[in-house]
Structure 1
Amino acid sequence: MPRQLRAEQTRSTIITAAADLFDQHGYESTSLSDIVEHAQVTKGALYFHFAAKEDLAHAIMELQSRASRRLASDVDGRGCTSLESLMRITFGIARLSVEDPIPRAGLRLATGGVAVRPPLRHPFTEWLELCSRKLLGAVKESDLHPETDVDTVAHSLVCFFVGTRVVGSSLESVTRQPRRLAEMWHMMIRGMVPVPRRARYLTLIAQLEREIRTM
């Protein structure tokens, strides 16, 4: 195997192991020795790629950010309404969290006081901007009541989305996340979408949740 490819695989193994431990035990409670043991690599291999635990945390948060942006870009290419796009993006992020420890760890790191170093932006800032943009589009498309306070709803949506995962991480399996997300959207759709357009989005909630559960 070429040396560069082997080095890339080792780096990926270390990141995945660190993400798994950060997700399970938290950043502060995880040591570099724990990561070395979990990844089954040498300390020399770890230090070749990462000088400190903070560098590992930053790499995980960067991967999470890339995955979220790629997901949003893919959904935008489908030509959906703004509200459908936002719903698909949130369920897509939930799916990533169910399937992969890196997005799960990225969220825990973002809520655990780990500094976000430039040029990386805090994921909550990105999510707030995305939600505000999509909700404003939904108002213009008449899928939300015209008096909707877009910034307030965006803030509530992000807090709800993050909160279900943070609370759920202590009380229930991550596989419960799609159901919690569906519950969130049920409340929001019933409260914000005009009655004539409501059925379409309530049906979409069930479809998106089912897609995650059958993957």
Structure 2
Amino acid sequence: MVTAKRKFCADQSGATMVEMAVAMPLLLTLLLGFVDFGYLFYQWNAGNKAVQTGARLAQVSTPIAIGLPSEGKTPANSLDVGNAVPAGTYDYVCTASTAGVACCSIGGGTCQPANADQTSFDAIYNGSGGRAGMVSLLPTLQKSEVRIEYAASGLGYWTRPSGPVPTVTVSITNHPFQFFFLGGLLGFGNITMPSMLSTVTGEDMKSTYP
């Protein structure tokens, strides 16, 4: 009886299978983690390219903020004609609802669809005239995650024929990273991409997209 117990305790049959069963979940988690985090960095880079593209489109095309083209054209004091438009004179922030309806707030006020040009917002988001839009570079991007701001830069002058010269800031906010494996396995599905932005100085704002 004692001999049989000793043989059983010394038996190595199946040890490799047990070791594999213990190690395999860890190895698979590491492997899938490398895949997911590689895709995470791809999304990070795509997000940066998306805001750069959005800023360039916003820089040279019709402003989303409907009232912006008139800014810098009629100073309150007629003696200011030809003088620089001071920084902080205007500030428009344009976003979209979860349904994709664009709106703009003026000076921190309520975001109103009446203040926004939906076509201009869609052109920056989707692209236009053969140009790629933001969603072309980051396919998981939602309209509600795009924020476009037009703020007085201190450049340009009152009654400038081509309109104001705003600082244009395009940013992505509250965009979640997409995980193929770790989202459900380890609960990584709720990790939000840090806000990213691109800022440029507006050029001649056109009524058509180049």
TM-score w.r.t. the length of structure 2 is: 0.26
- Relative to its length, the structure with more helix (as a share) is 1
Q: Larger % of strand: which? A: 2
- TM-score by structure 1 length? 0.26
Higher relative CO (Cα under 8 Å, sequence separation at least 6) belongs to: 2
